[in-house]
């Protein structure tokens, strides 16, 4: 029985290991942003006060998330 030997070109695929990818740390800003959007849309159906609270929550979460991304 014949074995298939894989030959790798060292110029195309050098033997150096790949650098590990750096992942950003976890954050709760996307959840707060989604909650603000939910309150805003729910407020359109129910009350202007709920819409205002949702818009404020959305704006604060968006600003917090952008600020955190700028510091990374």
Per-residue pLDDT 10s for the chain (72 aa) are: 555 666 655 566 565 566 666 777 788 999 999 999 999 999 999 999 999 999 999 999 999 999 998 887
- Identify the pLDDT of residue 2: 55
Give pTM, 2 decimals: 0.66
Max intra-chain CA distance, the chain: 78
DSSP letters, 3-41, are: -------TTTS-SSPPPPPPPPPP-SHHHHHHHHHHHHH
- Identify the pLDDT of residue 71: 81
CB-based contacts of 64, cutoff 8 Å, min separation 6: 29, 32
Asked if the structure places residue 4 within a domain, the reply is: no
Distance between first and last Cα of the chain: 56
The residue segments making up the domain with residue 44 are 29-71
Tokens (6 digits) for 9: 């070109």
Asked if the structure places residue 23 within a domain, the reply is: no
- Identify the pLDDT of residue 22: 74
Asked if the structure places residue 7 within a domain, the reply is: no
Asked if the structure places residue 18 within a domain, the reply is: no
Domain count, the chain: 1
């Amino acid at each position: 029985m014949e074995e298939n030997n894989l030959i790798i070109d060292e110029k195309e695929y050098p033997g150096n290991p790949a650098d590990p990818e750096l992942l950003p740390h976890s954050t709760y800003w996307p959840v707060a942003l989604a909650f603000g959007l939910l309150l805003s849309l729910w407020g359109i159906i129910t009350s202007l006060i709920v819409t205002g609270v949702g818009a404020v929550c959305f704006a604060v979460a968006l600003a917090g998330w952008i600020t955190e991304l700028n510091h990374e």
